[in-house]
Amino acid sequence: MKRVDSELKELSTGLLDRLASTEEWEIPPFPASAAAAAGKDAQILPAALQLGRLQAEVEGCRKCPLGEQRLRAVFGVGSARARVMFVGEGPGFQEDHEGEPFVGKAGQLLDRILQSIGLSRRTVYIANIVKCHPMTDPSNPELRGNDRPPTPQEAAACLPYIEEQMRLISPRVVVTLGSVATKILLGEDVGITRVRGVWRQYRTRLDERTIQLLPTYHPAALLRNPELKRDVWTDMKNLRKELESLE
């Protein structure tokens, strides 16, 4: 555990330097219930338990200013054995209030997208790069439309958590939702329209595993511009093909 802690610390520091120039198992919201649920299947007990511990750590985290501003930390939801992980940039108003990622209108759309290819938020894993709500006006968490993307410093401080989630869940595919999550994970300053739908190889920072990464549009972008749905549907069909090839 000490080694992992020190690796996480190094990872956070290293990324901050660079930026300066995420069988069916649902992870319940609290560590105690995570442990109880994990007991139903000894095979997945270690990952589920470790996710529970990590969630408890995130819920007490104050490594960046967002920790003082959030209402609830938003750790992640889904299966500890998910083959595919969906990663967004950060929680918004609804997520901050409910403590679960993608529960607002964009989240409902994501649910329908998952359903269209035979998946659900219980069979995949869904998380964000930052676990606390980045707000334009942090003094007013009750204000709607008070969202902003995370800063590079906030993303760097939080990145070790999504990397640890990837290490524990060990997904075969990561789908990044939108420009911010894509840029941060790939470490490249590229617009989502240029990279969407193009498969990339993602090297995990903690255990140096290669995972297939597919960037696509954030569901919130589809709400603003429904024409983008066609591209996302193409990406989801490709994702389904890739998952079938892994069976």
Helix (H) or strand (E) holding 127: strand 125-128
User: Shortest approach of ligand SF4 to residue 190 CB, angstroms?
Assistant: 24
User: Shortest approach of ligand SF4 to residue 97 CB, angstroms?
Assistant: 16
Say if residues 88 and 52 touch (Cβ distance below 8 Å).
no
- Rg value, the chain, Cα: 17
Kindly tell me which residue out of 61, 71, 206, 223 binds ligand SF4, with binding defined by CB under 6 A: 61
Site for ligand SF4 in 127-156 (CB under 6 A): 130-132, 154
Pull the structure tokens for residue 70: 């959030």
Pull the structure tokens for residue 167: 């290490």
Does the protein bind ligand SF4 through residue 67 (CB under 6 A)? yes
Closest CA to 215 of 120, 89, 90: 89
d(CA 62, CA 216): 30
User: Shortest approach of ligand SF4 to residue 176 CB, angstroms?
Assistant: 18
How many residues in the shown chain lie near ligand SF4 by CB under 6 A?
Answer: 14
d(CA 243, CA 172): 8
Kindly tell me which residue out of 64, 110, 185, 236 binds ligand SF4, with binding defined by CB under 6 A: 64
Which residue in the shown chain puts its C-beta closest to ligand SF4? 67
Kindly tell me which residue out of 16, 45, 63, 141 binds ligand SF4, with binding defined by CB under 6 A: 63
* Residues at the interface with ligand SF4 (CB under 6 A): 58, 61-64, 66-67, 73, 130-132, 154, 157-158
